[in-house]
């Protein structure tokens, strides 16, 4: 198990924490935090969020909130964060942390039954980008502003994908969304050199998202790529990818804003 990555009292926020990579990141990263740290878990499924919260170390204060991030306003997100802070630490709670960490994991694969030329529904585009691009950007701004002016170390992790830098047929929504989202965090890193920003690409992981692609993608070449990954047992477990994620954070051998893939050498 990786040792302590962050020091002192930490506020950790993880989105998409009800299942898959998000749940595993919350559980494993939470196990490295010092006693008295605060963890805030966000996702839509309250029951699954509770399951994640129940698996967290009892030495931590853990709050979870069921929220549709594609529809939440900046004011609502601020209220959720402020509520967790006040409940945990009372007045001027934001000053009581040594480090803050936000993991932007929430995301969806999008409609993989269409080629780019058929992606002509404005409403679908808006809904997809609301969840996958706009909500992480807005939440990130809100989270940073909560701690603005405080002498606190800040860490921002965006869960990205190789699809954000390499095109795949029938994955126009996912590829373009990941590319836009990652570029936002690269700009954020450039504008905020005092913040540690990591764009982590977890590789092909055994999740419901991977099953959706394998079962439903319309392009035969892309389908064969993902089918081959499964048949040749090259799909990663959440344990594997989260261990590498923690190793990357610990090594600090990347420049803030970098895209680091599971398969990259440390």
- Chain centroid to CA 97: 21
Quote the pLDDT of residue 2. Answer: 54
Burial 229-263 (b: 16+ CB within 10 A, else e): beeeeebbebebbbbbbbebbeeeebebbebbbbe
pLDDT at residue number 75: 98
Helix (H, G, I), strand (E, B) or coil at 8: coil
What pLDDT, on a 0 to 100 scale, did the predictor assign at position 18? 97
Coil, strand or helix at 243: helix
Quick one: residue 80, left, alpha or beta (phi over 0 = left, psi -120 to 50 = alpha)?
Answer: alpha
Contact at 8 Å (CB) between 140 and 197?
no
Structural domains in the chain, sorted by start: 10-205+239-261 (3.40.50.720)
d(CA 209, CA 265): 26
pTM of the prediction? 0.95
At 1 the pLDDT is 44
Q: Cα-atom radius of gyration of the chain, to the nearest Å?
A: 18
Question: 259 by DSSP, 3-state: which?
Answer: strand
Q: Could you state, in chain order, the average pLDDT of each consecutive group of 10 residues for the chain (266 residues)?
A: 82 97 97 96 97 96 97 98 85 85 97 97 98 98 93 97 97 98 98 98 92 92 92 93 96 96 92
**pLDDT given for residue 182 in this prediction:** 98
pLDDT for res 208: 87
């Amino acid at each position: 198990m990786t040792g302590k990555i962050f020091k002192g009292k930490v506020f950790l926020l993880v989105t998409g924490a009800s299942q898959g990579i998000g749940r595993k990141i919350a559980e494993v990263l939470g196990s490295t935090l010092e006693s008295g740290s605060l963890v805030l878990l966000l996702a839509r499924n309250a029951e699954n969020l509770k399951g994640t919260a129940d698996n967290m170390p009892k030495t931590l204060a853990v709050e979870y909130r069921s929220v549709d991030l594609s529809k939440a306003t900046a004011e609502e997100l601020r209220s959720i964060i402020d509520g967790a802070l006040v409940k945990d630490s009372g007045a001027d709670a934001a000053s009581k942390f040594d480090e803050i960490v936000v993991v932007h994991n929430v995301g969806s694969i999008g409609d993989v039954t269409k080629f780019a030329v058929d992606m002509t529904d404005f409403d679908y585009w808006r809904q997809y980008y609301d969840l996958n691009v706009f909500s992480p950007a807005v939440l990130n701004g809100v989270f940073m502003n909560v701690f603005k002016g405080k002498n606190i170390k800040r860490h921002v992790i965006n869960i990205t994908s190789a699809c954000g830098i390499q095109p795949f047929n029938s994955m126009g929504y996912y590829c373009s969304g990941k590319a836009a989202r990652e570029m936002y965090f690269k700009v954020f890193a450039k504008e905020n050199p005092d913040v540690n920003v990591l764009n982590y690409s977890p590789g092909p992981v055994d999740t419901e998202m991977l099953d959706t692609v394998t079962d439903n993608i319309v392009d035969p070449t892309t389908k064969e790529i993902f089918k081959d990954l499964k048949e040749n047992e090259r799909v990663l477990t959440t344990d594997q990818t989260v261990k590498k994620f923690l190793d990357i954070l610990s090594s600090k051998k990347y420049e803030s804003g970098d895209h680091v893939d599971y398969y990259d050498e440390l």
